[in-house]
Amino acid sequence: MQVDFTLWYRTMYSRAWVRVRSTYGEPVWVAVNLAVPLLSSLAMALLYQSTGLSRYTGFAILGGVMLAFWGNVLWSMASQFNWDKEVGIFEIYLISPAPISAILVGMSLGGILASLR
């Protein structure tokens, strides 16, 4: 099966652009996406310190950051696909000539870029 690289790249770019643009469109989401991971990382660090494992506090903070990062990417992709299914766009994804892998990679890259802010 021959994959057209320009179609794959354009599909990936378009899905990533939509994800990044939608994240920065609402200022309240920027504050929520910064405050919730910060509070969860702080809670994990305090939990480690209260149990006498203060030398692992750095790992707790790193774990909190990674949980927030991947949780944001995966949750956003799942909610986007659910919304697309409800409004009827998901079927268009399946019958379009665009590769599904490009759609998934674009959505995940867009989620990663949106999470990095």
The closest alpha carbon to 72, from 36, 111, 109, 110, belongs to 111
Alpha helices in the chain, H assignment, sequence order: 5-24, 27-50, 57-87, 90-95, 100-115
pLDDT tens for each residue of 49-74: 888 888 888 888 888 778 777 777 77
Cα angle value 113/115/117 (rounded, 5°)? 80
pLDDT tens for each residue of 24-49: 666 777 677 677 778 878 888 888 88
